[in-house]
Amino acid sequence: MLTVHHLGKSQSERIVWLCEELGIPYELKLYARDPVTRLGPPEYKALHPLGTAPIITDGNLVLAESTAIMEYIMTKYGNGGLVPATTDPTFADYLYWFHFANGSLQPNLGRSMILGRVDLPADNPLLKWVTGRLDLAMGLVEKRLGEKDYLAGDVFTAADIVTVFSLTTMRLFLPMDISPFANILAYLQRIGAREGYRRAMQKGDPDLTPMLS
């Protein structure tokens, strides 16, 4: 049985959402963060040597890393859903945005979060470089969503599922004003209207109002 081990308010929301969009059977196990450290509890950390979210188990398999898990589930259980065919003109765009999420956007957010905690002066060269890189990444997403309804094109795909956490729940850890990004805000309203997203957030984080604005 496919089991999604969901650490509250984490990137594992992506996996719950993926399963809901695909309509596949899965077991959901919820883990609360430590109220002081904000890290996963010991029983979550015991699942995988890194103890990071997300983690799934499937029989004897234990698998971590968002995109690895998503590719595994889509390949084994997805029946071709949420991924354009290789003959589709949007296939290369899909690949780019699917990997952009954790290859560019989330790392820039993570670096900004860490530097924001060490109280560097605004003119610090490293801080300025990281801020500039994040601005570039957000600007690229904003531009793309001014051209298309979804990241791969006009159809919702797994590239959207892997990206939305960075634009929403990640702001619990790195407060960010997204009001200047009109296209991103409109996109998040389209996402919030999806039944699969609503079900996933209600099941995984029922105490969290999705951060869609």
Inform me whether the pLDDT recorded for 90 exceeds 90: yes
Question: Are 56 and 63 in contact, with CB atoms under 8 Å apart?
Answer: yes
Sequence letter at residue 145:
L
CATH 3.40.30.10 fits 2-82+198-204, yes or no: yes
pLDDT in tens, 19-78: 999 999 999 999 999 888 888 899 999 999 888 999 999 999 999 999 999 999 999 999
Confidence at residue 106, expressed as pLDDT on a 0 to 100 scale:
96
Residue 46 CA from chain centroid, whole number: 23
Inform me whether the pLDDT recorded for 122 exceeds 90: no
Domain spans, the chain? 2-82+198-204, 91-194
pLDDT in tens, 166-198: 999 999 999 999 999 999 999 999 999 999 999
Confidence at residue 181, expressed as pLDDT on a 0 to 100 scale:
98
Query: Hey, which CATH number is domain 91-194, 3.10.20.740, 1.20.1050.10, 3.40.470.10, 3.30.70.100?
Result: 1.20.1050.10
Classify strands 2-7 and 55-58 as parallel, antiparallel or unpaired.
Answer: antiparallel
Examine domains 2-82+198-204 and 91-194 and report if their fold is the same. no
The burial class, CB within 10 Å (0-12 / 13-18 / 19+), for 7 is: buried
Side by side, the strands of the sheet bearing 55-58 are 27-31, 2-7, 55-58, 61-64
